[in-house]
Amino acid sequence: MTETILTNVRLVLSDEVINGTLRLRDGHIAGIDQGATGVPGAEDCGGDMLIPGLIELHTDNLERHMEPRPGVAWPHAAAILAHDGELASVGITTVFDALRVGSIHAGKGSYDKYARQVASEIFALRGAGALRINHYLHLRAEICSETLIEEMAEFGPADRVGLVSLMDHTPGQRQFRDVAKLKQYVAKKRNMTDGEFDDHVTHLKGLQDSFGARHEKEAVAAAKRYGAVMASHDDTTAEHVAVSAAHGIRLAEFPTTREAAEACRVNGLQVMMGAPNLIRGGSHSGNVAAHELAEAGLLDIISSDYVPGALMSSAFLLADLWDDVPRAIATVTANPARAVRLADRGRIGEGLHADLVRVGRVQDTPVVRGVWCHGRQVG
């Protein structure tokens, strides 16, 4: 039996913040002592907050480590370990690694499959005890691709696919209603000429015409076969949300308009927005600002998206905006846990996983001072 005692902490519970001591035993929360702050043998946390470990549902961070520069392939094991360590350092203790399924084999906008290989490497590292935090799979099903069905067939119920999101990045709709924003993003990244970009747009539209309806249907079927939660992506209209709800989807990633977010409320979908959008004050694609949805009570979950450290910062930004610390912390802990059906984490309570973060604030910036995953200090 191993025990860790953290004392002189402000414990962020589901609906209140209390001063006290937390006891961790054998990977779980063993006891909460309200008011007790001078416990012999305990680690004195100096009045810092103790919050549940952050839960990240959608991050492109692993892909960034795998390809640190366009066209530069990094060894996968090193990339996975660097990704894992970075997330641990910013308080994320459970991650759903977003892996794209569905390839394109034409032009500078092409990309090849990688998900099955990388998933197997994550599992191997986890089996060897090399990873600090909890890893699940999030398959980003690219509807407008050539090989989606074949790539999804490589996964099954044993693969811990916890989340499948339905992606449609066809130019002129959803995230890239403004094709100029797509050009600014992808043409610069892939060093495309104007002609190459025009060919890329034409090709993507052709893929949607040829495969869109069939791939969407097959992706929904595959998610059910895995036993995974499904998410929509970049819903823009009430009609988009209605289609998502008809598929059984209850999580909307990054709706691009207030209309879509309001339709999510009507149809029972939780709304997830990106932390960079919230922190920057707006979307880099010109879509609805996360702070607008937060102010309107239409924001449930935050994802770090492409900046892992933004997850903690966004939670404290919301705490100040709402003047409600437990509500804000829930957007990065309890709410994402509930969305993907993880009942054993995301809250501080006896018997739950001892996934925890000690955090202070310096000049209003949150500072991570300790991270525990299953009771083991990892950061």
User: What backbone phi and psi angles, to 5 degrees, belong to 174?
Assistant: 50, -125
Distance, in Å, from the CA atom of 167 to the CA atom of 177, rounded to the nearest integer, reads 14
Report the pLDDT value the prediction gives residue 308, as an integer from 0 to 100: 97
Q: Which two tokens stand for residue 8?
A: 């002189």
Report the pLDDT value the prediction gives residue 55, as an integer from 0 to 100: 98
Q: What are the residue boundaries of the structural domains of the chain, listed by start? A: 53-339
What's the whole-model pTM score?
0.90
Report the pLDDT value the prediction gives residue 304, as an integer from 0 to 100: 96
Cross-strand pairs, 23: 5, 31
Find out whether 352 and 344 touch, Cβ atoms under 8 Å: yes
Report the pLDDT value the prediction gives residue 102, as an integer from 0 to 100: 85
Q: How high is the mean pLDDT in each 10-residue block of the chain (379 residues)?
A: 89 96 96 84 94 97 92 95 98 97 66 91 98 97 88 94 87 59 61 70 67 83 97 94 95 96 98 96 86 98 96 97 98 98 98 98 94 96
User: What backbone phi and psi angles, to 5 degrees, belong to 339?
Assistant: -65, -35
Report the pLDDT value the prediction gives residue 207, as an integer from 0 to 100: 67
Find out whether 212 and 143 touch, Cβ atoms under 8 Å: yes
Find the helix or strand (DSSP H, E) in which 101 lies: strand 92-101
Find out whether 284 and 315 touch, Cβ atoms under 8 Å: no
Is residue 343 packed enough to be buried (19+ CB in 10 Å), middle (13-18) or exposed (0-12)? exposed
Report the pLDDT value the prediction gives residue 212, as an integer from 0 to 100: 62
CATH number of 53-339: 3.20.20.140
**Could you tell me the CA-to-CA distances from 120 to 117, 125, 227 in Å, in that order?**
5, 9, 19
Go through the chain and tell me how many residues it has: 379
CA-based nearest residue to 339, from 264, 243, 273, 251: 251
